[in-house]
Amino acid sequence: MLSSSYQSETSGSQAGRFGTTHWSIVLKAGQGADGALVRLCQIYWPPLYWYIRRRGHAIHEAQDLTQAFFAHLLENRALGGVAPSKGRFRSFLLVSLKHFLDNEWDKARTLKRGGGQMLISWDHLKPEDRELLEPCEQMTPERIFNRRWALMLLERVMNQLRNECVASRKRERFEKLKDYLTGDAAEKSYQEIAAQLNMSEGAVKVTVHRLRRRFGELVRAQIARTVDSPEEIDDEIRQLFAALT
Amino acid sequence: MTEKMKCSSCGNEIERDVSFHQCPRCLLNLGFWRGTEDSADGALWDAGSDGERRLGLVDYEILERIGRGGMGVVYRARQLSLDRVVALKMIGLGELASPAALARFRREAEAAAKLEHPNIVAIYEVGEHGADPFLVMRLVEGASLAQKLREFASSVGYDPTQRERAPKESRRQLKIARLLAVVARAIDYAHERGVLHRDLKPSNILLDRDENPHVTDFGIAKLLDEETALTQTTELLGTPSYMAPEQAAGKAVSRTADVYSLGAILYELLTGRPVFDGKRPIEILRRVMEQEPTHPGMFNELLDRDLATICLKCLEKDPERRYGTALEFAEDLERWPALFFACSVGPLGIRRWRA
Ligand SMILES: Nc1ncnc2c1ncn2[C@@H]1O[C@H](COP(=O)(O)OP(=O)(O)OP(=O)(O)O)[C@@H](O)[C@H]1O
Ligand SMILES: [Mg+2]
């Protein structure tokens, strides 16, 4: 229902208003509300990290730089000075990161000594790191950033959907059916799954349909947090789609 | 090296950097889905099927967006089961707030839902949509005090050549004092039931068509409280202008913090400017903690001195020196016009306040 409601929203009245959740958290960082910003870093680091990697920094340096960039966002109370007129959160982070890498990071590196805090845990970055970069070898750093952004978004939506299913004690259904989010299975596999889940074949199909629908809603809801107005959601989906092609 | 997988739907290769091993393009495409078919309701499972509980929002049809704040979006919505129009506030912080903060939010909201007062916006339901909490409350048709601020502050700025302005200005002050007294009584009612507001500001005071105030968002600021020391942004750029200094400093707050906020709202209505201003939230915060407010009479020569004194008493840095309860503040406001008019020309000189 939320996704459909976006269509009926009155445009204009809020246009250009700066107030999505994520934006306001960045702004709040200017007031010292660091806890939420730290969470934001924990969510948004991957595209930033991969962008830095693509600019030629080695693994550890890229990790340090990602960390330093967020520390810079946190420490630099000048965030209040970020012109919040309009714009997407994604572009904001990318522009800030570029600016940071071009102008600020030497300064930040010296500043960070002594007071640096660990914001991101790198534990789950495995050695195949290099392999992950491989599909992107011909891409520009911006392209990688956007691709990573899209993948991160989908990954989070997938987790959210899983959590919702688990919360309704439907974990098994989710695990068995998630592969069909993107396309139907052969009739035979639906029959098999239906038998395994002790459901009718029709019920399995309805469930798949619902999972898809819900996935789509969650995608829109995620994106809604990073754009200025609901009218921009479709366009943001298109841009992310382009980044994946 | 393993073979690359292909998407069964679009036939494209699924690259190795896709951790969930499904075609990201086809997944993203699902985002274009619009809920026009069946009773698009955001619920994953039918209510009743296998005795599942509903996922909260099924009962609400969203009509339009009313406004957006720091933590979420407020919609006008129809509650289908009861066929009534309500205000639905989606809090978009689910994943950013810690589970403990969410649990606390729920407790607070449930406490606030117990408040029944003509000047407090009734909460009908507290629920969760996915990771995001939502609140359903009475819809107040009108505008928030934030939207009406200018109107209230309109005749500030006294020009001595315009003597005829004086009566209009005293009527304005009277109207403001009455409004704040009503709000303060509502706050006191909540305090008596153990509920602090914590985020009193003009956008949380809704005015109905007859200009009766309705206070909303009780306790909600706490969602981020523990980890942030601060509460939240205002409508625009997160002006912490209404926050008590002890709250700004991240210390424990009591009802006198709400009394401070009431005073800050009164101050702005009387003078047309916030108690402390600054280019950046952090500057404002520093002033809230360190500077004394400018006497409101500085900005408005026609401001009654007793009313100014009442206002400044709320804004004392030391919570002990403020009104101990919102009720005391309300009572002083209610007594004030009698004194004001008894003397007809005002100012009355300085009254003595209880220690
Ligand atoms: N129950 C309601 N009835 C009618 N309008 C409402 C109601 N609740 C909120 N609003 C409107 O929606 C707007 C947004 O409210 P919201 O509480 O999300 O943000 P805010 O109060 O401006 O800022 P913050 O999120 O910092 O509290 C308000 O300014 C108000 O005009
Ligand atoms: Mg509010």
Residue B4 domain flag:
no
Number of domains in chain B: 2
Q: Identify whether residues B204 and B303 lie together within a single domain.
A: yes
Predicted confidence band at A182 (pLDDT cuts at 50, 70, 90)? confident
Residue B269 domain flag:
yes
Residues comprising chain B, all counted: 355
B70 lines ligand 1 (CB under 6 A): yes
Return the structure tokens found at A132. Answer: 């992950």
Predicted confidence band at B210 (pLDDT cuts at 50, 70, 90)? very high
Cβ(B283)–Cβ(B263) below 8 Å: no
Query: Which ligand is located closest to the Cα atom of residue B145?
Result: 1
Predicted confidence band at B350 (pLDDT cuts at 50, 70, 90)? very low
Query: Which letter, b or e, does each residue of B333-345 get, where b requires 16 or more Cβ atoms within 10 Å of its Cβ?
Result: beebbeebeeeee
Residue B207 domain flag:
yes
Q: Identify whether residues B242 and B303 lie together within a single domain.
A: yes
pLDDT score of A35 more than 80: no
- Distance, C-alpha A69 to centroid of its chain: 17
pLDDT score of B260 more than 90: yes
Q: B120, B138, B156 — which closes off a domain?
A: B138
List, for residues A198-209, the tens digit of each pLDDT value. Answer: 888 888 888 888
- Position with higher pLDDT, A126 vs B334: B334
| Cα–Cα nearest to A244, from A185, A186, A182, A184 | A182
Cα(B297) to ligand 2 centroid in Å equals: 30
Q: Identify whether residues B323 and B186 lie together within a single domain.
A: yes
Q: Identify whether residues B101 and B149 lie together within a single domain.
A: no
Distance from CA of B318 to the nearest CA of A (A): 22
What ipTM does the predicted assembly reach? 0.78
B72 lines ligand 1 (CB under 6 A): yes
Q: Identify whether residues B200 and B113 lie together within a single domain.
A: no
Cα(A15) to ligand 1 centroid in Å equals: 17
Q: Among partner residues B61, B65, B132, which is closest to A1 by beta-carbon distance?
A: B61
Nearest CA to ligand 1 atom 9: B74
Q: Identify whether residues B134 and B146 lie together within a single domain.
A: no
Lowest mean pLDDT among A1-5, A170-174, B314-318: A1-5
List, for residues B20-50, the tens digit of each pLDDT value. Answer: 888 999 899 888 765 433 333 444 544 333 3
Cβ(A62)–Cβ(A70) below 8 Å: no
Q: Among partner residues A8, A154, A217, which is closest to B20 by beta-carbon distance?
A: A154
Residue B154 is predicted with a pLDDT of: 67
Question: What CA–CA distance (Å, rounded) separates B100 from B102?
Answer: 5
Computed over every residue of chain B, the mean pLDDT equals 78
DSSP B229: S
Q: Give contacts of A243 with chain B, Cβ < 8 Å.
A: none
List, for residues B146-199, the tens digit of each pLDDT value. Answer: 999 888 876 565 555 556 667 788 889 999 999 999 999 999 999 999 888 988
Cβ(A181)–Cβ(A212) below 8 Å: yes
What mean pLDDT do residues B5-29 have? 85
- Position with higher pLDDT, B182 vs B102: B182
Cβ(B197)–Cβ(B207) below 8 Å: no
Q: B103, B138, B173 — which closes off a domain?
A: B138
Domain of residue B93, CATH code: 3.30.200.20
Rg over alpha carbons for chain B, rounded to the nearest Å, is 25
**Which position has the token pair 């006008």?**
B76
Structural domain harbouring B227: 142-353
Question: What CA–CA distance (Å, rounded) separates B77 from B87?
Answer: 6
- Answer whether B227 sits within 8 Å of A35, measured CB to CB: yes
The H or E element containing residue B275 is: none
Residue B1 domain flag:
no
Query: Which ligand is located closest to the Cα atom of residue B221?
Result: 1
Q: Can you tell me which atom of ligand 1 is nearest the CA of B141?
A: 4
| Cα–Cα nearest to B154, from B177, B179, B172 | B172
Cβ(B75)–Cβ(B64) below 8 Å: yes
Question: What CA–CA distance (Å, rounded) separates A77 from A70?
Answer: 12
DSSP A102: I
Residue B18 domain flag:
yes
pLDDT score of B233 more than 70: no
Cβ(B193)–Cβ(B114) below 8 Å: yes
Q: Among partner residues B23, B31, B131, which is closest to A237 by beta-carbon distance?
A: B31
Q: B138, B159, B179 — which closes off a domain?
A: B138
Domain of residue B174, CATH code: 1.10.510.10
Q: Identify whether residues B67 and B195 lie together within a single domain.
A: no
| Cα–Cα nearest to B331, from B175, B180, B191 | B180
Helices A34-54 and A89-99: crossing angle in degrees, nearest 10, is 70
Residues surrounding ion ligand 2 at CB below 5 Å: B 69, 204, 217
List, for residues B234-252, the tens digit of each pLDDT value. Answer: 332 345 889 999 888 877 8
Residue B2 domain flag:
no
Cβ(A24)–Cβ(B232) below 8 Å: yes
Q: Cβ contacts of residue B223 below 8 Å, gap of 6+? A: B71, B91, B93, B97, B101, B102, B104, B105, B232
Q: Identify whether residues B117 and B220 lie together within a single domain.
A: no
Q: Identify whether residues B305 and B215 lie together within a single domain.
A: yes
**Which position has the token pair 């994106």?**
A223
- Answer whether B282 sits within 8 Å of A31, measured CB to CB: yes
Residue B185 domain flag:
yes
**Which position has the token pair 């503040």?**
B329
Residue B180 domain flag:
yes
Q: Identify whether residues B14 and B152 lie together within a single domain.
A: no
Q: Identify whether residues B99 and B211 lie together within a single domain.
A: no
Lowest mean pLDDT among A35-44, A96-105, A108-117, A180-189: A108-117
Q: Identify whether residues B86 and B228 lie together within a single domain.
A: no
Tell me if the pTM is above 0.90.
no
Nearest CA to ligand 1 atom 2: B139
Predicted confidence band at A229 (pLDDT cuts at 50, 70, 90)? confident
Return the structure tokens found at B196. Answer: 């602090």
Cβ(B172)–Cβ(B119) below 8 Å: no
Query: How many CB atoms are located within 10 Å of the residue B137 CB?
Result: 23
Residue B22's alpha-carbon distances to A4, A134, A192, A241, B14, in angstroms, are 26, 18, 21, 14, 7
Helices A105-112 and A59-75: crossing angle in degrees, nearest 10, is 80
Question: What CA–CA distance (Å, rounded) separates B207 from B204?
Answer: 10
Mind telling me the catalytic residues of B?
Answer: 199
Query: Which ligand is located closest to the Cα atom of residue B203?
Result: 1
- Answer whether A1 sits within 8 Å of B40, measured CB to CB: yes
- Residue B162: half-sphere exposure toward Cβ, Cα within 13 Å: 12
